[in-house]
Amino acid sequence: MASSVMDRLVDAINGHDLDQLVECFAPAFTTDWSVHPSRSFGDRDGVRRNWQAIFRAHPGIQVELTSCVQFGDEIWGEWEFKGENRESGAPAWGRGVMIVVLDEEVIVQSRFYMEPVAPARD
């Protein structure tokens, strides 16, 4: 693993520990969803609101950081998310890349390239 903040982030998500998760991010954190700009937000409160909604909608969500590399203060990680939707019970599965910028072992900026995994065709 490239950085202890990534270890802490994975542990916080898999443990559904919202306070620990929020502590991985700087107070002035910003995020950019280049392909889905309406998902972008800034600040730690946005992190909390976002993950509260995710944990509520997908109570069994688990993540795996399948690949990770660090160049200076930037980390590129490939993620896999698995869980199920609380309302429908349907599987929820996503994959993608998150690029983060660190300062003092907290995430100050991220860029997301995540998408749901579509079921395989028969």
Q: What is the CATH number of the domain that holds 13?
A: 3.10.450.50
Note the pLDDT of residue 15.
97
Is residue 74 assigned to a domain?
A: yes
Q: What percent of the chain has pLDDT over 90?
A: 68
Q: What is the pLDDT of residue 1?
A: 40
Residue 22 within any structural domain of the chain: yes
Closest CA to 110 of 4, 13, 15, 6: 6
- List, edge to edge, every strand of the sheet that includes 74-84: 41-42, 25-33, 106-116, 91-103, 74-84, 62-71
Is the residue at 91 inside a domain? yes
Q: Is residue 64 part of a domain?
A: yes
Span 85-114, pLDDT tens digits: 888 877 788 999 999 999 989 999 999 998
Average pLDDT over residues 54-67: 93
- For 34, the domain range is 4-116
- The predicted pLDDT at position 115 comes to 84
Structure tokens at 92: 């929820």
Which percentage of the chain shows pLDDT scores above 70? 96
Within-domain flag for 121: no
| pLDDT on residue 31 | 92
Tokens linked to 86: 């609380």
pLDDT at residue 48 greater than cutoff 60: yes
Number of domains into which the chain is organized: 1
As a whole number, the mean pLDDT across the chain is 90
Task: Judge whether 104 lies within some domain.
Answer: yes
In a domain, 122, yes or no: no
Q: Do residues 95 and 79 lie in contact, with contact meaning Cβ atoms separated by under 8 Å?
A: yes
Spell out where 1-122 has E strands: 25-33, 41-42, 62-71, 74-84, 91-103, 106-116
Cα gap 15→17, rounded to integer Å: 5
Q: Using a cut of 0.75, tell me whether the model's pTM lies above it.
A: yes
Q: Please, are residues 79 and 61 in contact by the beta-carbon 8 Å criterion? A: no
Q: Is the pLDDT of residue 64 over 50?
A: yes
**pLDDT at position 118:** 77
